[in-house]
Amino acid sequence: MDSVRSDTAPVPQALKILVAGGFGAGKTTLVGAVSEIAPLRTEEVLTTAGVGTDDTTGVATKTTTTVAMDFGRITINPSLVLYLFGTPGQNRFWFLWDELATGALGAVVLADTRRLADSFAAIDYFEQRNTPFVIAVNCFDNDQRYTAEQVREALDVDGHVPVLLTDARDRMSVKNVLITLVEHVLTMVRSSVPA
């Protein structure tokens, strides 16, 4: 082919961080607060066998639907780019999580104190996968009545998992969440015994 370039462009190393949380927990807001681009949206198409149908025709019913993920990007330096993926919190989307969590640097579980139980599935999932994670407690205006320690107790997470109060709209606050996560990963890497 004549038009093939000889100078293959080097590409940056890409890292990804997951932002998991229930509907309305502030995932898209958090991604948008630190992303250098307006959050972009991708969709994954899911085909599933019909749910709850009483199929007597012998024809398999399939439902095709889409699940949206918002993501943002932070260029750390020319050779290192961080992607943040906001992922639906419900564990019925576990197949998506598997894809997203594979190779992820770590995860932010965005907990909404009005609906703490919404974050249980994500916490269980990351604990089981050994994906490093932090819990960011999104402080909605009229909801300042919990401390990080109270949330930690309510969620029953290990003492080593960082729990922070945050405001997903605030860039500095979100920056701090991400730095805490990466420092947490660094601690885990340093303390792991080399094979």
Partner 1 sequence: MSADPIDGVEEGPAWWDHEAGPVVRPYMVTGGRVRPVTVDFDLITYLVATATLAADTPSPEHQAILALTQEPRAVAEVASRVDLPLGVVRVLLCDLLSDGLIARYDPPPTDHLPNVETLQAVIHGLRAL
Distance of CA 47 to the CA centre of its chain: 23
Partnered with residue 77 across adjacent β-strands are 80
Helix (H) or strand (E) holding 124: helix 120-129
Q: In a 3-state reduction of DSSP, which class is residue 46?
A: strand
Binding status of residue 72 toward ligand GDP by CB under 6 A: no
**Considering only residues 80-99, where is the footprint of ligand GDP by CB under 6 A?**
86
Binding status of residue 28 toward ligand GDP by CB under 6 A: yes
In the complex, minimum distance from the CB of residue 40 to Mg ion, in angstroms, rounded to a whole number? 12
Query: Among the candidate windows 36-44, 121-129, 146-154, 162-170, which touches partner 1 by CB under 8 A?
Result: 36-44
- Dump the DSSP string for 6-27: SSPPP--EEEEEEEEE-TTSSH
Binding status of residue 154 toward partner 1 by CB under 8 A: no
> Is 174:86 a contact under the CB 8 Å cutoff?
no
Cβ proximity to partner 1, 122 vs 152, nearer residue: 122
* Of positions 107, 151, 157, 168, contacts ligand GDP by CB under 6 A: 168
Which spans of this chain sit near ligand GDP (rule: CB under 6 A)?
21, 23-29, 86, 138-141, 167-169
